[in-house]
């Protein structure tokens, strides 16, 4: 495997790991909440958690917040 191929493989692994983490968080949030308002409150808390932390944690927090809202509205982006 070339260096470039190794880099692409690692980038793909990072993407898949992020997707798995977000999916796990959504499952837990679904189990803990009953209303759209509760889910939005949690999404806001993830948005707030993204401020002032390391870039990896901030990115994951923003992804979770977006996924919560996406699931609530049935829309992407």
pLDDT computed for residue 55 by the predictor: 94
Q: Maximum Cα–Cα distance for the chain, whole Å?
A: 50
3-class secondary structure, 3: helix
pLDDT computed for residue 72 by the predictor: 81
As a whole number of Å, the end-to-end CA separation of the chain is 35
pLDDT digits (tens, 9 = 90+) for 8-43: 999 999 999 999 999 999 999 999 999 999 999 999
Q: Which DSSP state fits 74?
A: T
Domain segments of the chain: what residues? 3-73
pLDDT computed for residue 76 by the predictor: 60
pLDDT computed for residue 52 by the predictor: 85
What is the pTM assigned to this prediction?
0.82
| Burial of 64 (C-beta count, 10 Å sphere; 0-12/13-18/19+) | buried
């Amino acid at each position: 495997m070339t260096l470039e191929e190794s880099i692409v493989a690692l980038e793909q692994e990072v993407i898949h790991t992020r997707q798995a983490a977000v999916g796990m968080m959504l499952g837990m949030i679904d189990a803990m909440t009953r209303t759209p308002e509760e889910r939005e409150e949690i999404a806001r808390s993830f948005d707030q958690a993204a401020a002032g932390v390391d870039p990896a944690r901030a990115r994951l927090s923003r992804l979770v917040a977006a996924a919560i809202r996406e699931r609530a509205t049935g829309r992407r982006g």
